[in-house]
């Protein structure tokens, strides 16, 4: 689970979905809409949540079980992610789901081990915005590498091998599909600072550009920078985790072009 060298992970996703249209509009902004963009397809729809909003329904119901399906499916809403400790891995949200076990060998900041029906994470399909995240060789997955909980719009949880129909690298034990927040059409700057016991703290912020290139290629983007620190009281070693994420969405005709950049740096300190 733990790595003794710096990690730098970059994922650049470029998706042009000509069949996707904005599902709702809070306010007209030229040729695009002032609301989050939801996408739908063969495997269901992603949460329609942007950085500037948390739907009241997500606060009132943090988990939603889909009853009209032949395969078990649970949606973890944005409301549950807002209750997690910012320095913990987002997989902590799976702790109270049926058939799922989440174990931290040390600090969740170092990543979690996830089991579904007894199957380890190398047999579970993890995706981010539809992109498989498991390692190409061993099919393992490091849950602290790609996205922090504060940027998660929601997660769809599929226990069991029936989820093998979902695109991915390893799905015998089940699938965990995570979706990142979409950019808001409005500009804002949101500082993020927190502290806890035993020298653990984080600081950073989220910048949302708002809508630009309105009459050419309407685009909105967000930029997230954050640093987590701990003094190593429980693990006998301190650690510094630096996160940098960027996402932009551009409307091109009836579809949307999404760019997503996720580098990360983790180092141990004495």
Which tens digit of pLDDT belongs to each residue from 88-102?
A: 889 998 988 888 999
Band of the pLDDT at 63, cuts 50, 70, 90? low
At 78, the pLDDT band (50, 70, 90 cuts) reads confident
Question: Other C-beta atoms within 10 Å of 191: how many?
Answer: 8
Q: What is the pLDDT of residues 179-210, one digit of tens each?
A: 999 999 999 999 999 888 778 899 999 999 99
Give pLDDT, residue 58. Answer: 57
What is the average per-residue pLDDT within 73-77? 84
Domains of the chain are 37-180 (2.170.130.10)
Helix residue spans in the chain (DSSP H):
56-60, 78-81
Q: For residue 178, what pLDDT band results from cuts at 50, 70 and 90?
A: very high
Mean pLDDT of 238-258: 90
């Amino acid at each position: 689970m733990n790595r003794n060298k710096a990690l730098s992970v970059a994922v650049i996703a470029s998706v042009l979905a000509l069949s996707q249209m904005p599902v709702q509009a809070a306010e007209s902004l030229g040729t695009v809409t002032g609301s989050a963009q939801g996408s739908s397809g063969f495997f269901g729809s992603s949460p329609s949540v942007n950085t500037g909003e948390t739907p009241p329904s997500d606060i009132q119901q943090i988990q939603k079980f889909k009853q009209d399906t032949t395969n078990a499916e649970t949606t973890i809403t944005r409301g549950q992610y807002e209750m997690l400790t910012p320095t913990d891995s987002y997989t902590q949200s799976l702790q109270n789901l049926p058939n799922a076990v989440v174990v931290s060998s040390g600090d969740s900041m170092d990543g979690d081990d996830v089991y579904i029906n007894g199957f380890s994470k190398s047999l579970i399909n993890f995706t981010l915005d539809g992109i498989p995240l498991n390692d190409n060789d061993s099919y393992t997955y490091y849950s602290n590498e790609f996205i922090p909980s504060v940027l998660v719009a929601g997660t769809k949880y599929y226990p069991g091998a029936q989820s093998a129909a979902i695109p991915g690298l390893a799905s015998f034990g089940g699938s965990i599909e995570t979706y990142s927040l979409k950019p808001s059409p409005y500009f804002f700057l949101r500082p993020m600072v927190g502290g806890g016991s035993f020298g653990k703290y984080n600081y950073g912020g989220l910048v949302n550009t708002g809508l630009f290139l309105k009459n050419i290629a309407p685009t909105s983007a967000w930029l997230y920078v954050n640093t987590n620190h701990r003094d190593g009281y429980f693990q006998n070693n301190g650690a510094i985790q630096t996160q940098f994420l960027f996402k932009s969405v551009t409307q091109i005709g009836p579809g949307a072009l999404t760019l997503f950049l996720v580098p990360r740096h983790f180092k141990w300190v004495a």
